[in-house]
Amino acid sequence: MKLVLLLNGIKCYNEVNFHLRGETNWVMMEHLERIKLRPTQVLVIGFAIVILIGGVLLNLPIASQSGESMGFLNAVFTATSAVCVTGLAVVDTGTHFTVFGKTVIAILIQVGGLGFMSMATLIFVLLGKKISLKERLVMQEALNQNNLSGLVKFTLYILIGTFIIEAFGALFLSFRFIPEYGFLKGLGFSIFHSISAFCNAGFDLIGNGRSLTPYVGDVVINFTIMSLIILGGLGFSVMVDIVNHRGLRRLSLHSKMVLLITALLIGSGFILFTILEWNNPETLGGLSLQEKLLGGLFQSVTPRTAGFNTINTGGLTSASLMLTIVFMFIGGSPASTAGGIKTATFGVIIFLVVSVIKGREDTELFGKRISRGIVQRAITIAVIGMLLVIGFTMVLTITEPSFSFIEILFETVSAFGTVGLSMGITSELSGIGKVVVMLLMFAGRLGPLTITLALARQQRQNKGNIKYPEDKVLVG
């Protein structure tokens, strides 16, 4: 009898223990599921890791011409600017860094422009590694695509197309740089500036903070750099759409809008900058007719997050500075190497205003209706962008009291739009100021995309929720 009771007790204990272990395992599994990183989090952490690695490499004495470390904060700032394809620099890239340092910056620009997941996909394919569903989801978020179908092939098209475009860019640039700097240095200059231009980074190796000002009248340099900037800023989806359909009529609504807004911004910018700076002795005033026209056209292209300049940015008139700030805030196009709120976002808001003025309920363009969800996200992105700029500008006015308001506002918008143009205050920022600008560059490179995807997910989760009674609010 005692033996039976003992056996029954052991059985009960094992059942309870199994049940408890099962409950514990279930809780642990649930906890592990909760701490799994979402694709947007993987993107943010991935970019942060690349920045940290780049900062460590650029902080090595071998990266500096002087043979001394540039300081970890300055190294991380430079790495952040390169990965976020911004171009703001605390030291002169052309004279401070060695070949090793310049190579690290070029690699960081390429990884930052294409996205670390695109580069990882290339490595996976070369190694024959199968790309998992989770990795595809991260790629989908990084490239701002609507579905997973054909995503790996699309990514490979992007990579191959990018390398081909950059190769042609380097070829055309070599016609000027090789005769001027010799074969090896000229070839290096050509490759570096081609990568920097296509990725809309704005880093240059000319030296002494001159950017491309020595080439203000050079047709080859100007049109090669501008072509690379525009192609990189159009967005990979638009370029693939153009290649596949080879005609404007069959393009998607997104591609048509991007091309329309891009053309309007470049055209209007060219006219306004040329008129506003025509007699300004610090910019276009003392140049020939060809140099004035090229300078005005280049200035209309470069604020679209490229960061190069062929005229003195600090010498622009107040009106031109304000126009540049607006262009920097708009930026390039979605799924491109550019920053800002994006041309498509700006286009949606503009056509929303047009529709409201015409008394139409829907936002319409090219005979198509834009969904209300997209309109809401566009407005949200623009508002959040403005709040970021206002907030960080206020912080910098406190940490950098020696600079004027327009200098700080210009620097802030340049960082948010990942442009890289500056009125010459970047290297003079305090330690806190540099950290603030780094955070803004990081937010500008990843923020709008992450926010948009988060809003889309929240919208799906709220489907079917109770709708509250409608009421009216006075606006305007």
Q: Stretch 29-40: mean pLDDT, rounded?
A: 49
Model confidence at 252, pLDDT cuts 50, 70, 90, reads confident
Closest Cα to residue 74, out of 55, 87, 60?
Answer: 55
Closest Cα to residue 348, out of 439, 435, 254?
Answer: 254
For the chain, give the percent of residues with pLDDT over 90. Answer: 51
Higher pLDDT, 59 or 29: 59
**Is pLDDT of 262 > 80?**
yes
How far is the C-alpha of 271 from the C-alpha of 294, rounded, in Å?
11
pLDDT value, residue 135: 57
Q: Stretch 313-342: mean pLDDT, rounded?
A: 90
Closest Cα to residue 110, out of 188, 50, 62?
Answer: 50
How far is the C-alpha of 125 from the C-alpha of 38, rounded, in Å?
23
Higher pLDDT, 437 or 470: 437
Segment of 38-52, 129-143, 253-267 carrying the highest mean pLDDT? 253-267
**Is pLDDT of 16 > 50?**
no
**Is pLDDT of 19 > 70?**
no
Express each pLDDT in 291-310 by its tens digit.
Answer: 999 999 999 999 988 889 99
How far is the C-alpha of 258 from the C-alpha of 204, rounded, in Å?
27
pLDDT value, residue 157: 78
**Is pLDDT of 313 > 50?**
yes
Place of tokens 């070369």: 126
Encoded tokens for 90: 């605390």
**Is pLDDT of 453 > 80?**
no
**Is pLDDT of 445 > 70?**
yes
Place of tokens 């043979």: 67
Express each pLDDT in 102-160 by its tens digit.
Answer: 999 999 998 888 765 566 565 555 555 666 655 555 555 555 555 555 666 777 777 88
**Is pLDDT of 11 > 60?**
no
**How many CA atoms lie within 13 Å of 13's alpha carbon, on the beta-carbon side?**
6
Encoded tokens for 462: 């709220």
Angle, helix 99-114 to helix 72-83, in steps of 10 degrees: 40
**Is pLDDT of 402 > 90?**
yes
Contact (CB, 8 A) for 218 and 206: no
* Domain range list for the chain: 37-459
Closest Cα to residue 306, out of 100, 162, 109, 59?
Answer: 109
Q: Stretch 414-425: mean pLDDT, rounded?
A: 91
pLDDT value, residue 20: 38
Closest Cα to residue 413, out of 343, 334, 328?
Answer: 328
How far is the C-alpha of 372 from the C-alpha of 405, rounded, in Å?
37
Instruction: For residue 428, give Cα distances in angstroms to 92, 110, 114, 220.
Output: 13, 27, 30, 34
Encoded tokens for 347: 């286009």
**Is pLDDT of 263 > 70?**
yes
**Is pLDDT of 38 > 70?**
no
pLDDT value, residue 151: 65
**Is pLDDT of 318 > 90?**
yes
Express each pLDDT in 156-203 by its tens digit.
Answer: 777 888 899 999 999 999 999 999 999 999 999 999 999 999 998 989
pLDDT value, residue 149: 59
pLDDT value, residue 454: 46
Higher pLDDT, 244 or 247: 244
Length of the chain (residues) = 476
pLDDT, mean over the chain = 82
Model confidence at 245, pLDDT cuts 50, 70, 90, reads confident
pLDDT value, residue 142: 55
**Is pLDDT of 387 > 50?**
yes
**How many CA atoms lie within 13 Å of 169's alpha carbon, on the beta-carbon side?**
29
Torsion over CA of 237, 242, 245 and 249, rounded to 10 degrees?
110
pLDDT value, residue 62: 96
Place of tokens 């029954």: 8
How far is the C-alpha of 162 from the C-alpha of 462, rounded, in Å?
39
Model confidence at 46, pLDDT cuts 50, 70, 90, reads confident
The angle formed by the CA atoms of residues 86, 325 and 104, to the nearest 5 degrees, is 5
Q: Note every long-range contact of 70-73, with CB atoms under 8 Å and residues 24 or more positions apart, other chains counting.
A: 70/96, 73/431, 73/434, 73/435
pLDDT value, residue 329: 94
Higher pLDDT, 2 or 285: 285
DSSP code string of 149-187: TTHHHHHHHHHHHHHHHHHHHHHHHHHHHHHHH-HHHHH
pLDDT value, residue 238: 86
